[in-house]
Structure 1
Amino acid sequence: MRGAEAATALTGVRAVSSAALGGTAHRIELADGSVVVAKRHDHASAVLAEATGLRWLADAGSVPVPAVRGHDDEWLVADHVTPGSPTATGAEALGRDLAGLHAAGAPAFGAPPPDGPVDAWIGLAPMRNETGADWPSWYAAHRLEPYLRTAADHGHDLRVVGEVCERVDALAGPAEPPARLHGDLWSGNVLWSTGGAWLIDPAAHGGHRETDLAMLHLFGCAHLDRVVAGYEEVAPLADGWRARIPLHQLFPLLVHTVLFGGGYARQTRDAARAALRA
Structure 2
Amino acid sequence: MPSGLDATVTDPTPAHLLAEMAALRESERLLRLALASSESGLWSWDLVQERVRFTADTAARLGRSTDRLDDDECSTDTMLAAVHRDDLAAVRRARQLVEEGAETYQVEIRIFGYDGKMRWVRERGMLERDAQGRPLRIVGAVIDVTEQHDMQQRLRDDATRRRVMVEQSRDGVVVLNTDGSVDEVNAAFAEMLGYTLAQARQLHVWDWDIDLPRDTALQKLARRSEAAVHREVRMRRINGEVLHVDM
TM range (shorter): under 0.3
Structure number with greater Rg is 2
Normalised TM-score (structure 1): 0.18
Answer 1 or 2: which has greater strand percent: 2
Normalised TM-score (structure 2): 0.20
